[in-house]
Amino acid sequence: MNIIETKNLTKTYNKNRGIDNINISVNEGEIYGFIGPNGAGKSTTIKTLLNFIYPTSGSGTIFGLDIVKDSSKIKENIGYVPSEVKYYDSVKVKGIMKYAQSFYPNVSDEDLSKICIDLELDMEKKMGELSLGNKKKVAIAQALIQNPKLLILDEPTNGLDPLMQKKLFNILVEEKKKGNTVFLSSHNLNEVQNLCDRVAVIKEGKIVDVIELEKATKTLGLKITLVSKDINEEIILNIGGKILNKSKENNSFIFLYYKDTNSLIKELSKYNVEELLIEKENLEDTFLNYYEDKGDEK
């Protein structure tokens, strides 16, 4: 059974586009990313899945249950972290966490303190004293409290420092190991590419692709930036380079290369090269350029 399944899920705000015929299937136990720029429709999809807003047309299920009719039942097994977290300033972290615990009779004090220690929450601080990142940590702790079968996180890395982001990703991998499913949105594919099993790319309200990351990462080539007075476009094309950018003025090229690295080095060593930078091809550049190109063709 798919944990999340949508069929032509559509939401318009008056006449304006929110999301347009979204079809996604999220398997049990996977970490599924939902990637797109601001305004693409990520939050609208999530809010519709959680029945915070009604679909204009189309339908969806979570755990095989209808997202509108069965929403209360569905929510018993979901942990959700919104993109913007808001709390009363005067309440202490301890108060928030105890309140969250009170909804779940099976959650012991030990369970609660383990989560709070893992996320390094300062229980005595008032919410008004916390930075955005620390408020977000409280929301994440609340979402994890009852060991939900499905975690839905809307832009969870916003406001988190790199260390905390790493910690969060470790927690999400642990959730996956327990057999739980994670659905998270992000505007940055690079940030989540090592975490997710698959990502759906959303652009202007529509799903434009679903990428299996392990497969996609294996096919990545090298991105070469070079400066040389001796090297021209023809030479780069002859060695099999796909030119992304060139500047005659600076004698520079940026190109992608998918063949044998030794041959590349041998070829380039025939010329006087002033600067050379060899990097792994960037998944986000590759996919997002592709979608932008497609958009321009229309």
Q: Which residues would be at the binding site for ligand ADP (CB under 6 A)? A: 13, 16, 18, 36, 38-44
The enclosing H or E element of 1 equals: none
* Residue 83 CB, nearest approach to ligand ADP (Å): 7
Half-sphere exposure in the Cβ direction for 66 (13 Å, CA): 7
Q: With the CA atoms of 267, 270, 275 and 276 taken in that order, what torsion angle do they form, in degrees rounded to the nearest 10?
A: 20
* Residue 38 CB, nearest approach to ligand ADP (Å): 4
> Judged by CB, which is closer to ligand ADP: 82, or 241?
82
* Residue 92 CB, nearest approach to ligand ADP (Å): 31
* Residue 160 CB, nearest approach to ligand ADP (Å): 18
> Judged by CB, which is closer to ligand ADP: 44, or 228?
44
Please choose, from the candidates 212, 200, 150, the residue with its C-alpha nearest in 3D space to the C-alpha of residue 175: 150
Compute the distance between CA of residue 15 and CA of residue 32 in angstroms, rounded to an integer: 30
> Judged by CB, which is closer to ligand ADP: 75, or 206?
206
User: What pairing do the DSSP bridges indicate for beta strands 78-81 and 150-153?
Assistant: parallel
> Judged by CB, which is closer to ligand ADP: 16, or 72?
16
> Judged by CB, which is closer to ligand ADP: 165, or 185?
185
Q: Which amino acid is at 265?
A: I
Q: Residue 53 gets which letter from DSSP?
A: S
* Residue 202 CB, nearest approach to ligand ADP (Å): 7
Compute the distance between CA of residue 215 and CA of residue 208 in angstroms, rounded to an integer: 18
* Residue 30 CB, nearest approach to ligand ADP (Å): 21
> Judged by CB, which is closer to ligand ADP: 35, or 96?
35
Alpha-carbon dihedral sign for residues 164, 176, 283, 81: negative
Compute the distance between CA of residue 179 and CA of residue 296 in angstroms, rounded to an integer: 41
Compute the distance between CA of residue 91 and CA of residue 86 in angstroms, rounded to an integer: 12
The enclosing H or E element of 233 equals: helix 233-238
* Residue 206 CB, nearest approach to ligand ADP (Å): 11
> Judged by CB, which is closer to ligand ADP: 122, or 284?
284
